[in-house]
Chains A and B, each alone.
Chain A
């Protein structure tokens, strides 16, 4: 039993190591001196889209332009800018699509609300269909009528 547990622990460890190895080979090797700034830097660079790559944040991309973006974020943080000031700077130059998480406003409301609305509509439809089917089963279970039995 103990051997089994050890084996299981080894497997878990192996999976964890494999899962985290890409992080060890991270694109971005620069670390900010202040840990709080470093945390904000990491969060921001994962939030900003790399404009020359498909589906990558500037934290994950080794494109030249992404490196320039990271430097820009770094310098702004060191200069004491807030996270929102960094976002605003990028949005002012590259548009809202530069952010992975689009802001909630009148223009993007449908984008945020549509999945929820569709889910509710789907749930209502599913419940109604289920009830109708259940009703059919009840009808089926009624005793056979006289004329059929005879």
Chain B
């Protein structure tokens, strides 16, 4: 009887410890919000081409092939750090990378263009296409929380993977190239 009473709090403690241990083990990376968009159609957009502002590109123009979407900005330090890796992986030409120049900040529209273009002129252009998302509407539509963010979209126009933060060669090979080459149904 006496022992039984002592066992109750002990049992409760063990139960709590197990619950917390499971919580810690299964918690995703803290601060990173998993995209609920994976497995869903990429959002619709219609944005001007950075180099030809009069030309606009829509989601439909990209359908029918694998492509990666990379949100960046000349104002974003992590994007600057990520840039050499993008340059390197883009040379393999496994899949086109579409750059979304997110919220270029400047006073006039022309200057905005210049900042994004100057960034690419200076560091090189790894993108097949660069679109200007100046007001950030498309970014919110994609569920972007901060640049850089990279999405992988399959030929059916469905998002199959999302990376928050800088891309590395390893992630590119493992998450992007592997899915495009022969293992598209992995996810």
Which residues does A use to contact B, with CB under 8 Å? 51-52, 64-65, 68-69, 72, 91-95, 97-98
Q: How far does the alpha carbon of A93 sit from the alpha carbon of B142 in the complex, in Å?
A: 7
Q: How far does the alpha carbon of A65 sit from the alpha carbon of B146 in the complex, in Å?
A: 8
| Residues of B45-65 whose CB lies within 8 A of A | none
The residue from B103, B136, B137, B145 contacting A94, defined by CB atoms under 8 A apart: B145
The residue from A52, A69, A93, A97 contacting B37, defined by CB atoms under 8 A apart: A93
A-B CB contact pairs (8 Å), 25 listed: A51-B33, A51-B145, A52-B145, A52-B146, A64-B136, A65-B136, A65-B145, A65-B146, A68-B136, A68-B137, A68-B139, A68-B140, A69-B140, A91-B36, A92-B36, A92-B40, A93-B35, A93-B37, A93-B140, A93-B141, A93-B142, A94-B33, A95-B33, A95-B34, A97-B33
B143 at the interface (CB under 8 A from A): yes
Chain B 83-107, CB within 8 Å of chain A: the 1/0 string?
A: 0000000000000000000010000
Do residues B143 and A93 form an inter-chain contact, with CB atoms below 8 A? yes
Q: How many B residues touch the partner, as a band?
A: 10 to 19
Q: Which residues of B contact A72 (CB under 8 A)?
A: 137, 140
Nearest Cβ on chain A to B38's Cβ, whole angstroms: 11
Number of A-B contacts (CB under 8 A): 38
Q: Which residues of B contact A94 (CB under 8 A)?
A: 33, 36, 143, 145
Q: Does more than half of chain A's interface fall in helix, strand or loop, or is it mixed?
A: helix
Given contacts A68-B140, A69-B140, A72-B137, contact A95 B103 (CB under 8 A): no
Q: Which residues of A contact B103 (CB under 8 A)?
A: 64
Since A65-B145, A93-B141 are in contact, a sample of 12 more A-B pairs with Cβ atoms closer than 8 Å, ordered by chain A residue number, is A52-B145, A65-B136, A68-B136, A69-B140, A92-B36, A92-B37, A92-B40, A93-B142, A94-B36, A94-B143, A94-B145, A95-B33
Q: Which residues of B contact A69 (CB under 8 A)?
A: 140
Q: Which residues of B contact A92 (CB under 8 A)?
A: 36-37, 40
Q: Which residues of B contact A95 (CB under 8 A)?
A: 33-36
Top 6 A-B pairs ranked by shortest CB distance?
A93-B143, A68-B136, A51-B145, A95-B36, A94-B143, A72-B140
Q: How far does the alpha carbon of A91 sit from the alpha carbon of B36 in the complex, in Å?
A: 8
Closest A residue to B43 by beta carbon equals A93
Q: Which residues of B contact A91 (CB under 8 A)?
A: 36
Closest B residue to A95 by beta carbon equals B36
Q: Which residues of A contact B36 (CB under 8 A)?
A: 91-95
Closest B residue to A49 by beta carbon equals B33
